[in-house]
Structure 1
Amino acid sequence: MTAPQAGEPPSTRELPPVLELTGVTKEYPGSPPLRILHGIDLTVDAGELLAVVGPSGSGKSTLLALLGSLDRPTSGRLRFEGRDLSHLADTELAAVRAHRIGFVFQQFFLLSGLSTVENVATGLLYSGVPAARRREAAVEALREVGLGHRLRHRPDQLSGGEKQRVAIARALVGRPALLLADEPTGALDSNSGAAVVDLLRALNDSGTTVVVITHDRDLAASFPRRVGIHDGRVDFDERRPHLAGDVR
Structure 2
Amino acid sequence: MIPSPGSAPPPVLRLEKVVKEYDGSPPLRILHGIDLTVRPGELVAVVGPSGSGKSTLLALLGTLDRPTSGALSLQGHDVGALAERQVSALRAHRIGFVFQQFFLLPGLTCVENVATGLLYTGHSVRRRGIRAREVLRQVGLGHRLGHRPDQLSGGEKQRVAIARALAGRPALLLADEPTGALDTVSGTAVVDLLRGLNADGTTVVVITHDRELAASFPRRIGLQDGRIAFDDTTETPVRTPV
Q: Give the TM-score range, shorter chain.
A: over 0.9
Counterpart residue number, 2:224: 230
What amino acid is the match of 1:137?
A: R
Q: 1:22 aligns with which of 5, 16, 35?
A: 16
Task: Provide Cα deviations, 1:145-188, integer angstroms capped at 9, x if missing partner.
Answer: 00000001000000000000000000000000000000000000
What amino acid is the match of 1:199?
A: L
The alignment status of 1:35 with 2:29, answered yes or no, reads: yes
Counterpart residue number, 1:163: 157
Aligned residues: 236
The alignment status of 1:194 with 2:193, answered yes or no, reads: no
Q: 1:96 aligns with which of 87, 90, 101?
A: 90
- Bigger CA drift: 121-130 or 13-22? 13-22
User: 2: CA distance between counterparts of 1:182 and 1:239?
Assistant: 20
Counterpart residue number, 1:177: 171
User: 1: CA distance between counterparts of 2:123 and 2:150?
Assistant: 28
User: 2: CA distance between counterparts of 1:224 and 1:78?
Assistant: 23
What amino acid is the match of 2:222?
A: G
| Aligned partner of residue 121 in structure 1, secondary structure | helix
Query: Contact conserved, 1:224 with 1:247, CA < 8 A, in 2?
Result: no
Q: 2:212 aligns with which of 186, 203, 218?
A: 218
Runs of 4+ in 1 over 6 A off after TM superposition: none
Counterpart residue number, 1:5: none
Counterpart residue number, 2:143: 149
Cα RMSD of the aligned pairs, angstroms, is 1.2
| Aligned partner of residue 69 in structure 1, secondary structure | coil
What amino acid is the match of 2:169?
A: R
What amino acid is the match of 1:97?
A: R
User: 2: CA distance between counterparts of 1:57 and 1:169?
Assistant: 30
Report the alpha carbon displacement of residue 110 of structure 1 after superposing the two structures with TM. 0.1
Counterpart residue number, 2:79: 85
User: 2: CA distance between counterparts of 1:42 and 1:210?
Assistant: 15
| Aligned partner of residue 42 in structure 1, secondary structure | strand
Report the CA distance shift for 1:68/1:27 in structure 2 as closer, same or farther (over 3 A). Answer: same
* TM-score normalised by structure 1 residue count: 0.93
Query: Contact conserved, 1:26 with 1:75, CA < 8 A, in 2?
Result: yes
Q: 1:59 aligns with which of 53, 61, 72?
A: 53
User: 2: CA distance between counterparts of 1:108 and 1:160?
Assistant: 9
Q: 2:64 aligns with which of 62, 65, 70?
A: 70
User: 2: CA distance between counterparts of 1:247 and 1:52?
Assistant: 17
| Aligned partner of residue 144 in structure 2, secondary structure | coil
Query: Contact conserved, 1:52 with 1:214, CA < 8 A, in 2?
Result: yes
Gaps of 5+ in 1: 1-9
| Aligned partner of residue 14 in structure 1, secondary structure | coil
Counterpart residue number, 2:125: 131
Gaps of 5+ in 2: none
* TM-score normalised by structure 2 residue count: 0.96
Q: 2:107 aligns with which of 93, 110, 113?
A: 113
What amino acid is the match of 2:80?
A: S
